[in-house]
Amino acid sequence: MSNGIGRSSGGGMTRRGLIKAGSVASALAVTAPALAARQASQGPESAADGAGWREITPALTGYIAGACEHGIPAQIRERARLHILDTLASIVACHSLEASQLGRRYAQAMSPQGTSPILGSRQTASPVDAVFASGMTAHAAEINDFIPSAYVQPGPAIVPTAIETARLNQRSGADLVGAVVAGYEIAGRLPKAIGTRNLYLAGLANHGIAPTFGSAAAAAPLMDLTTDEVDHMLAYCAQQASGSWQWLLDVRHVEKAFVFGGMGARNGMQAARMAKIGFTGVPASFDNENGWFRWRAFQGEGATHASLVDGLNEEYELSLAAMKRYPVGGPTQPAVRALLDLRKTVSPEEVAKIVVAMPGEAATFERANMPALNIPYLAAIIMLDGRLDFVDAQSLDRQENDAAARDFARKVTVVRDEAQEMGEGEDRTESARVTLTRTDGTQEERYVPYVPGYPTHPLAKAEVEEKAHELIEPVLGVAAANRLIALCDDLDDAGSVDPIVELMRFDSA
């Protein structure tokens, strides 16, 4: 886009390069599969000898250090506030899940005398351990935000880190918003600057690496780090940049919550705090040809290192950030939307069979072990219950032990439809065609051409708030949901983040 607000995704995704993996999470958000095809049309920016290299450290450190003072367009600030709300709503909804409980247990074991609040509970820990637990909670299920073009889920790590850092340093709501914008900017740009294909071939998961840098970038301006201190901070982010694609094999969503949420929050805040108290690292490490950012594995196809700083304060990753409307994996969302619509006019006893046609390796979603990715299971509970409940969408117990759901799921087939697949250079989206056959032989069909919440079709403010109500009300009630939505909406005029923190403190399972 050329209006100074939007940001090109740098090429679309093809589904023809999908990894044919039968494991549960292999298709989650269509992540690893498409990386091999990503940015194929772009050549490396520079060779290993540094030819064509342009210094980026001053622009990068200056941007991060000054994040709270940047002039940010009103619509981008609003998107930031909405992503903060979306992440907090995710924490509320996920507070009782296994990954959340384990995150809190670990944090308290590590720092039992700590006083920093763990969001979604009344428990406390040290600042680093508290944001770790809050990050685990924010990604304990498939409901938080993501940046499709970067294969990053930024909110779970960045938002809790920014909120706790703002609380500790008595910063305003406006400062928090500016810091969150910077965190999303760095987290979204970094994988694309390195080249998502290069990261994948190096065995490094964007989902763990980018949140570390993004969380640090959000914490730094709230701690008043100087540009030199930010430079040192980046060196310690690089030393902690980790995350294996092994998360694709996770079923219980605990290791995944660690990689996507807890680890990045912990590592990012730790790097910022280390720099603040005087830790020194390799200076200008992002420009050093032997440093992490310019390592030879990151010099291959698709590397555009200068894009990490090009267009800062002009183009925004928040314009490429997406939200999930339903508590399921990204590629399953259109099928869920179609099924919910069909359920309005069809009762479960009328159903003879259901065929879900979708792009990509559809078989993965037919046999996924993770409930939020298993379309036959999701179809069963939608048709049997008449709705999609957040808890049931994540329930391994119900998927494995509900006989009625298992029997209904046998009526559901998921097939690949190449006609729905995106070509090279097209913006990534998701779609599904669901055909329901009744026992009398009549059929009904629903085609969902895109997922509401993707950058191509973003959720409106009212829709984000509606989702927040759905997630918050079952836990905290209507009044608290209204209050949290209003607090996030008014952040730019708030003198403190304390009211949000207090509202996020409640009894946890």
Judgement on whether residues 343 and 305 belong to the same structural domain of the protein: no
Q: Kindly report, residue by residue over 329-380, the tens digit of the pLDDT.
A: 888 999 999 999 999 999 999 999 999 999 988 998 999 888 999 999 999 9
In a domain, 50, yes or no: no
In a domain, 489, yes or no: no
Exposed/middle/buried for residue 269 (C-beta within 10 Å: 0-12, 13-18, 19+): buried
Q: Kindly list the distances between the CA atom of residue 316 and the CA atoms of 38, 158, 261, 324, in Å, as whole numbers in the listed order.
A: 20, 16, 22, 20
C-alpha–C-alpha distance, residues 231 and 228, integer Å? 5
- DSSP alpha helices (H): ranges in 223-357? 227-240, 255-257, 263-276, 333-343
Q: What angle do CA 301, 34, 154 make, to 5 degrees?
A: 95
Judgement on whether residues 205 and 86 belong to the same structural domain of the protein: yes
pTM for the full model? Answer: 0.87
- DSSP of 202-221, one letter per residue? TTB-HHHHHHHHHHHHHHHH
For residue 356, give the 3-state DSSP assignment: strand
Contact between 67 and 178 under an 8 Å Cβ cutoff? The reply is yes
Judgement on whether residues 311 and 338 belong to the same structural domain of the protein: no
* pLDDT by position in tens, the chain (length 509): 333 344 544 433 333 333 333 333 333 333 333 333 333 333 444 433 344 578 999 999 999 999 999 999 999 999 999 999 999 999 999 999 999 999 999 999 999 999 999 999 999 999 999 999 999 999 999 999 999 899 999 999 999 999 999 999 999 999 999 999 999 999 999 999 999 999 999 999 999 999 999 999 999 999 999 999 999 999 999 999 999 999 988 888 999 999 999 999 999 999 999 999 999 999 999 999 999 999 999 988 889 999 999 999 999 999 999 999 999 988 899 999 999 999 999 999 999 999 999 998 899 899 988 899 999 999 999 999 999 999 899 999 999 999 999 999 999 999 999 999 876 556 667 899 999 999 999 999 999 998 889 898 999 999 999 999 999 999 999 999 999 999 999 999 999 999 999 999 999 87
**What's 393's domain CATH number?**
3.30.1330.120
β-pair partners for 124: 117
Judgement on whether residues 213 and 354 belong to the same structural domain of the protein: no
Instruction: Report residue 329: phi and psi, to 5°.
Output: -60, 150
In a domain, 258, yes or no: yes
Mean pLDDT of the chain: 89
In a domain, 315, yes or no: yes
Judgement on whether residues 233 and 297 belong to the same structural domain of the protein: yes
Q: Which pLDDT score is estimated for 452?
A: 86
Judgement on whether residues 316 and 431 belong to the same structural domain of the protein: no
Q: Name the domain count of the chain.
A: 2
Judgement on whether residues 193 and 336 belong to the same structural domain of the protein: no
Please write down the HEC assignment for all residues of 109-157: HHCCCCCEECCCCCCEECHHHHHHHHHHHHCCCCCCCEECCCCECCHHH
In a domain, 485, yes or no: no
Q: Which pLDDT score is estimated for 425?
A: 54
Judgement on whether residues 107 and 193 belong to the same structural domain of the protein: yes
Amino acid code (one letter) for 159 = V
For 251, which DSSP code?
Answer: S
Q: Which pLDDT score is estimated for 46?
A: 40
In a domain, 48, yes or no: no
In a domain, 440, yes or no: yes
**What's 269's domain CATH number?**
1.10.4100.10
Judgement on whether residues 401 and 281 belong to the same structural domain of the protein: no
Segments forming the whole domain that contains residue 339: 330-448
Q: Which pLDDT score is estimated for 8?
A: 45
